[in-house]
């Protein structure tokens, strides 16, 4: 890539239930998030106890233009932009490329973001970079670590754990653009397990934060009973996961329990959270050992879990081998478009500027709900 002093990328994300747009500036190799707008649909889906794809797509369609407007507003120091000609010329001058999530995710949700991005790319004649959502969750770890980017030998190989509502994957990262999936969930994702258990316990959606809040209220002094949940596949000879049995174990315990008082609820939340944390940490450390990892990188909504972050950090610190540990800021763990813009930048960086438009031609982009790493 030609050494351009400053690049600005517009990121767009609509893979699930968050409509998001972000402007990311890259100057002298440093990243600056100029805007990061996320319009969440959680309140709407909470009514149904989970995401309803048709409803999600309709909401994305309603939200995409206001969200783009809000993200671009920083360019004009005003709160609202009408894309009139003069302003449009300015957008055209400032943005160098557009990055959009083209999978994995809900197909009708993905289509809204991708079609909006294609329209903008067509009008502005800018390159349009397709981004794998899961890689966005990984790359966002580098937003404040630009100095490490030039120190590849300190970082790689890395073991990445992506834990979200739809995915639980262990990924071997040998370089910035070299990823290999080494394990995944065979059934439910960790976030899905949090969400389904919360539904069983009547805690609402999204389940992860709700369970974490209840788990925090548990006090040892109130313990008059035991709840023992399994740690599925914790000792299996691979890097796969399984969380559907854990959810079923919660369901059976809940059905059998006679006194479903507050202590029972607190204890159950604490136990299910701990079971998930134990499995995630054990498998990630095992992979780090096997592949002699120099870093462990976390990403995805479940990483917003405070206990998970604390226990992971202290486990990594106590290991007999030295390994760097990365977890994004909590607000950047859940879905956002800054992570998509940043992942787009890593793709763009590999290509000479004169080839950007040809390589990242909006006509070539296809939505793939099952896109994998
Ligand atoms: O990455 P994300 O925002 O969306 C997907 O790509 O799926 O992850 C959403 C998932 C949900 O399952 C949600 O319950 C979980 O992340 N989550 C949490 C927490 N915050 C969000 N899980 C545990 N503890 C949290 N604090
Ligand atoms: Zn996600």
**What is the distance in A from the centroid of ligand 2 to the CA of 263?**
32
Of ligand 1's atoms, which has the minimum distance to the CA of residue 17?
A: 4
Q: Specify the pLDDT at position 55.
A: 95
pLDDT at 8 over 60: yes
From atom 8 of ligand 1, which residue's Cα is the shortest distance away?
Answer: 301
pLDDT at 81 over 50: no
Burial 179-213, CB ≥16 within 10 A → b, else e = beebbbbebbbbbbbbbbbbbbbebebbbbbbbbe
Choose among 3, 36, 89, 1: nearest CA to 342. Answer: 36
What is the pLDDT averaged over residues 31-45?
A: 94
Q: What is the DSSP letter of 241?
A: B
What is the pLDDT averaged over residues 69-77?
A: 77
Which of 83-92, 104-113, 162-171 shows the lowest mean pLDDT across its residues? 83-92
What average pLDDT is seen over the chain?
Answer: 92
**What is the distance in A from the centroid of ligand 2 to the CA of 290?**
27
pLDDT at 282 over 80: yes
At 259, the pLDDT band (50, 70, 90 cuts) reads confident
The DSSP string of 291-360 is TT-SEEEEESGGGG-HHHHHHHHHHHHT-SS--EEE---GGGTSS-SHHHHHHHHHHHHTS-GGGHHHHT
From atom 7 of ligand 1, which residue's Cα is the shortest distance away?
Answer: 165
3-state helix/strand/coil string of 53-74: HHHHHHHHHHHHHHHHHHHHHH
Of ligand 1's atoms, which has the minimum distance to the CA of residue 137?
A: 1
- How far apart (Å, rounded) are the C-alpha atoms in residues 172 and 159? 5
Choose among 369, 350, 337, 363: nearest CA to 127. Answer: 363
pLDDT at 297 over 70: yes
Q: Specify the pLDDT at position 5.
A: 77
pLDDT at 312 over 60: yes
What is the pLDDT averaged over residues 272-291?
A: 98
Q: Which ligand minimizes its atom distance to the CA of 40? A: 1
Choose among 102, 39, 37: nearest CA to 72. Answer: 37
pLDDT at 219 over 50: yes
How much is the pTM? 0.94
Q: Specify the pLDDT at position 257.
A: 84
Q: Specify the pLDDT at position 79.
A: 43
Q: Specify the pLDDT at position 86.
A: 62
In the chain, what percentage of residues exceed pLDDT 70? 93
Q: Specify the pLDDT at position 140.
A: 98
């Amino acid at each position: 890539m030609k050494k351009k002093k400053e690049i600005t990328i517009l990121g767009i994300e609509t893979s699930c239930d968050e409509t998001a747009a972000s402007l990311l500036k890259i100057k002298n190799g440093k990243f600056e998030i100029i805007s990061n707008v996320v319009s969440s649909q959680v309140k709407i889906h909470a009514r149904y106890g989970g995401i309803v794809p048709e409803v999600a797509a309709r909401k994305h369609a309603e939200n995409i233009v206001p969200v783009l407007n809000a993200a671009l507003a920083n360019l004009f120091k005003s709160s609202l932009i009408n894309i009139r000609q003069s302003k449009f010329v300015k957008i055209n001058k400032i943005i160098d490329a557009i990055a959009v999530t083209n999978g994995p995710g809900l197909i009708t949700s993905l289509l809204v973001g991708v079609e909006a991005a294609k329209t903008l790319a067509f009008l502005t004649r800018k390159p349009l970079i397709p981004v794998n959502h899961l890689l966005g969750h990984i790359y966002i770890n580098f937003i404040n670590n630009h100095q490490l980017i030039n120190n590849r030998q300190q970082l790689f190989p890395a073991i990445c754990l992506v834990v979200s509502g739809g995915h639980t994957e262990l990924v071997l990262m040998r370089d910035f653009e070299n990823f290999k999936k080494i394990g995944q969930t065979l059934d439910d994702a960790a976030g899905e397990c949090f969400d389904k258990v919360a539904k069983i316990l009547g805690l609402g959606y999204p389940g992860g934060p709700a369970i974490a809040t209840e788990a925090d209220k548990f006090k040892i002094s109130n313990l008059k009973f035991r709840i023992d949940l399994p740690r599925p596949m914790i000792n299996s000879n691979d890097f796969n996961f399984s969380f559907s049995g854990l959810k079923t174990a919660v369901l059976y315990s809940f059905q059998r329990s006679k006194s479903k008082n507050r202590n029972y609820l607190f204890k159950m939340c604490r136990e299910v959270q701990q079971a998930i944390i134990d499995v995630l940490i054990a498998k990630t450390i095992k992979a780090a050992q096997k592949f002699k990892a120099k870093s462990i990188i976390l990403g995805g909504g479940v990483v917003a879990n405070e206990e998970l972050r604390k226990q992971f950090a202290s486990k990594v610190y106590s290991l007999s081998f030295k390994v760097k540990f990365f977890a994004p800021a909590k607000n950047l763990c859940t879905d956002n478009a800054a992570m998509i813009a940043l992942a787009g930048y890593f793709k763009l960086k590999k290509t000479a500027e004169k080839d950007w438009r040809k390589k990242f031609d909006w006509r070539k982009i296809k939505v793939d709900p099952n896109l994998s790493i």
